Each structure stands twice: as structure tokens, then as C-alpha cells.
Amino acid sequence: MNTTKGKVLNRYHVIFLAQSIMIGTGILSLPQKLSPMGYTQSFMPLLFGVIASLTLFAMVWLCSKFPNDDLFRMNEILLGKWLGKFINLLVIIQFIVFSAGIISNYMHLIQSTALQEQTITMPVLCFLLLLIYIVSGGIKSIARFCIMTFFITIGLFYFTRWAIEKGDPSHFLPLFNFTPKEFYEALKQGYFSILGYELILFYFPYIIDQKKAFRHSLIGIWISIFLCFITTAISVMYYSEWQLKNVEFSVLNLFKAGEFTFIERIDIIGITLWVFLILSSITAYVWCAKRGMDTFLKKKKQSYQLYIIALIIFFIVKMPFSREFQEKLFMASNYVGYVLVSWPVFLILIYVIRKKQVQV
């Protein structure tokens, strides 16, 4: 296996790692997750961007104190060997379940639209083989794939032009017409749609210009936030409030507003190209999970951990349980992701208290 050594991530790698990992299946159903706020949801992605910027600052500050260590190592340094290893094990499990959740959602999308009479076994296996191939190249390989993904998929926004033409701008008014409870529900359900930028806690040691890591990651985050904002705004214009709440994967349905004489279903093009976005998210999470297993088992340059992770993901996706149980499991994983976003703040407090005792 080709493992990455040294600092190999330049500024473009950092920008597009932050950007592409955030755009997985989350944006596909973001308008539905924000539906408790109705038509006033359009400004929420901008609020998410502010929260992401503040939490990113805490992450980069913590990483700057341990420039050659990832979060797995920082947990052991600041929390002690055994407690640190226990936390690391939970993080590894969360990454594996989170990855399985993204794959499951995408396969559910494929099965409900394009492959209604077929099983998803072969698509899942093909997906995992591509995942193994990309992750085997290391973090630089993943970063290059993220750059390629951005330029391949950015053209999908062209297909929303018909939704804009048919939309009603009056839906944006009145502004801020929501209750505190509706705001909380939208924040709770919608924020995990932009998760992914927190993985800088794991690939920070590979960044060449670490002093500018915050700036470069921030650029990537706000590219994604801008895309989420446009998507949400177009959805508010095009859909009724009932449709925002009930139409699953509503972003793909925006493409159906398009009209080409030579293409019957434009949304199938979107579903096909979206596999690049799914892979760019999953490969990063799986790479982090494999790194965690290397740290946990104290083994380097081993490829079997990656195959074990892929096998576990396959069984989670294909587990013989109801869709409702799977959704509850994946939702629990999402909420653990919120803990990971805020975890650096807790570690910073530990670092400040134990500053003289900590040896980097």
C-alpha cells in the first residue's frame, strides 16, 4: 500500500479537501431538513458558514500546538493513553457508521429512481472497490480526487436555471417568520449536511503551509456554503412549503424542471455524476478511520485494515434490518459528528490546564 509520508498537501489540496468532503448526500436533502422553517430557511446556510468558521478556528489553533500529530495522537497526549484510546475507538466507529450512512442514502436514492427493480449489492461492491483504490493512494490521492470532483460536478448547477425561471421570488418574504422551536429543529437537522471540514484535525500534519491552513480551509468551506445557499434559495423559490417538507432529495427534483428534447430525465445525469461527490466524502472518512486503526493497533504500512473497514461498511449497508432502524443508527452517528466538531474546544481547555505537563 502506498502510504503518504511527510507534508504533501498544498493550498489547492487543502481548499478542495474542505470543500468536497462537505458536499456529499447532505445537500441533496438540505431543503427538506430545513423545512421546519418553511420559506425562511434560505439564510440558514450562511449561519452554518459562520458556525463552521468559528469551530474551524478552534480546530486549527489546537492543531498548531501539535503540528505533527493528528487528533488520535492528541487524544492520547491530552487525555492519557487508555482514555485516549477509548475515545479514538469511538471516533473510528463513528467514521465507519457515518460512511455507511452516506453510502446507504445514495444507494437508496439509486434504487428509488434508476434501479427500482434491482438489488444494490453489485453497486455497493463496485463503490467499495473504487473507494479502496482511491484511499490506497493516501491523503494526496484523495485531495487530487476532490479537485477533479469539483470541476466535474460544478456544471450541474446549470440544470437549475429552469427552476429559477419558474420560481417565485415572493417566497422569500416575509423574512424571519419562524419560532425558536422551528429554528432549533432546522439547525439540529440541517447542520450535519455540511459536516466534513472537521477532518482537518486528521490531515493537518500533512499540510505543507500550516500557517495558512485556516485561510485555505475557510475558502473551501465558504465555497460549499455558497453552493448550499444557492441551492436552498432556488428550492425556496421553486417549491411550495408542502413540497419542501415532503419531497425527498428535492435538489435532484430541481433538475426535472429542465427541458431538453434529446434527454428525457435530466435528474439521472445528476444522480450519475453525484457519485463523485459521494466518493470524495467517503474516501476521506475511511482514510481517517484507517489511520485511527493504525494508531490503535500500532501498525503501519498495513493494507488489511482498509479491507476490514470496507467489509464492515458493506455489512452495515446490507444488514437485514428495517430502513427505519438504519435511519436511527445513521442519525445517531450524525449527532456524534456534532460532538466531534465541538471536541477541539474541550481539548483546548485540557491543553491550557495541562500546558506545562504536556509533551508534544
Q: What CATH code is carried by the domain that includes residue 286? A: 1.20.1740.10
Residue 1 falls inside a structural domain: no
Cα–Cα distance between 191 and 292 in angstroms, integer?
A: 25
Give the pLDDT confidence score for residue 162 in this predicted structure.
78
Considering its fold, how many domains does the chain have in total? 1
Residue 253 and residue 267 in contact, taking contact as beta carbons nearer than 8 Å:
yes
Instruction: Determine which helix (DSSP H) or strand (DSSP E) holds 310, and give its type and residue range.
Output: helix 304-317
In this predicted model, what pLDDT tens digit does every residue of 279-295 receive, in sequence order?
888 999 999 999 988 88
Instruction: Give the range of the structural domain holding residue 165, as residue numbers without chain letter.
Output: 11-351
Q: What is the DSSP letter of 320?
A: S
Which 3 state secondary structure label does DSSP give 207? strand
Query: Residue range 63-92: average pLDDT?
Result: 90
Residue 356 falls inside a structural domain: no
Question: By mean pLDDT, which of 84-93, 300-309, 351-360 is the weakest?
Answer: 351-360
Question: By mean pLDDT, which of 39-43, 52-56, 82-86, 322-326 is the weakest?
Answer: 322-326
Residue 264 falls inside a structural domain: yes
Residue 334 sits at the vertex; the CA angle it makes with 332 and 335, to the nearest 5 degrees, is 65
Residue 209 falls inside a structural domain: yes
Give the pLDDT confidence score for residue 116 in this predicted structure.
63
Which 3 state secondary structure label does DSSP give 293? helix
Mean pLDDT (the chain, rounded): 84
Higher pLDDT, 11 or 112: 11
Residue 339 falls inside a structural domain: yes
In this predicted model, what pLDDT tens digit does every residue of 214-255 receive, in sequence order?
999 999 999 999 988 998 888 888 888 888 888 777 777 777
Helices 81-113 and 323-353: angle between axes, nearest 10 degrees: 150
Higher pLDDT, 172 or 112: 172
pTM of the shown model: 0.89
Give the pLDDT confidence score for residue 358 in this predicted structure.
59
Q: Inform me whether the pLDDT recorded for 1 exceeds 50.
A: no
Residue 236 and residue 39 in contact, taking contact as beta carbons nearer than 8 Å:
yes
Residue 317 and residue 104 in contact, taking contact as beta carbons nearer than 8 Å:
yes
Give the pLDDT confidence score for residue 223 in this predicted structure.
92
Cα–Cα distance between 287 and 306 in angstroms, integer?
A: 8
Cα–Cα distance between 330 and 101 in angstroms, integer?
A: 5
Residue 6 falls inside a structural domain: no
Give the pLDDT confidence score for residue 4 in this predicted structure.
45
Cα–Cα distance between 256 and 270 in angstroms, integer?
A: 10
Higher pLDDT, 4 or 182: 182
Q: Inform me whether the pLDDT recorded for 17 exceeds 80.
A: yes
Give the pLDDT confidence score for residue 261 in this predicted structure.
58
